Amino acid sequence: MSKPPRIGILALQGDVREHHDALTKAGADVVLIRRPSELDQIDGIVIPGGESTTMSKLLVILDLLDPLRKALAAGLPAYGSCAGMIMLASDILDTRPDAQHLDALDITVRRNAFGRQVASFETDLELEGIAGGPVRAVFIRAPWVESTGEGVQVLGTVPDGPAAGRVVAVREGNVLATSFHPEVTGDLRVHEYFAAMVRSAR
């Protein structure tokens, strides 16, 4: 039996505990990442939901921004949910001019695209590569993907309502991102999908 993948969670801010629980149940060996040296000890990383501008400031303060960018550019598998999607993007709309990002996904995202906290909602959507029927998707001040580069695969779109057709799940190589929060639903399929990506990359 192969060793479980060691997956780090960027533990600066946001819903770290929920991702920790989901990844552990999905069979990963989970560690929390707060220092550059810890990046050498992992097979993949999760960038959790939270507040993307706060996260970007903390990455700079803790000297993590450049080491994490380099690790991702060198092929470290990554999964970002909500603010994590924003952090992984190459271009961000409606953000602060001094906000930093990780340039790991060739996508343009719009922050708070669905509206403020009061416009949070849930829906069921089909995700390419995820078997077993629709995934319950929880959107909280969520971004959406405005445009994707050539190598980006669209895995899921909003099925109905005013935002029908908006792209909310993507993958490019070893990097996965969702606008929504699978870590809060108890459905482990997205985390299992990412753990399988990390195993394949390893």
- Catalytic amino acids? 82, 181, 183
Q: Which of 5, 62, 7 is nearest to 39 (CA)?
A: 7
The span from the CA of 101 to the CA of 48, in Å, is 14
Q: List 79's β-bridge partners, or say none.
A: 46, 176
Residue holding tokens 């709309």?
Answer: 93
Cβ neighbours around 26 below 10 Å, total = 20
DSSP 42-87: -SEEEE-SS-HHHHHHHHHHTT-HHHHHHHHHTT--EEEETHHHHH
Estimate the share of the chain in helix, then strand, then coil, as percent rounded to the nearest 5.
30, 30, 40
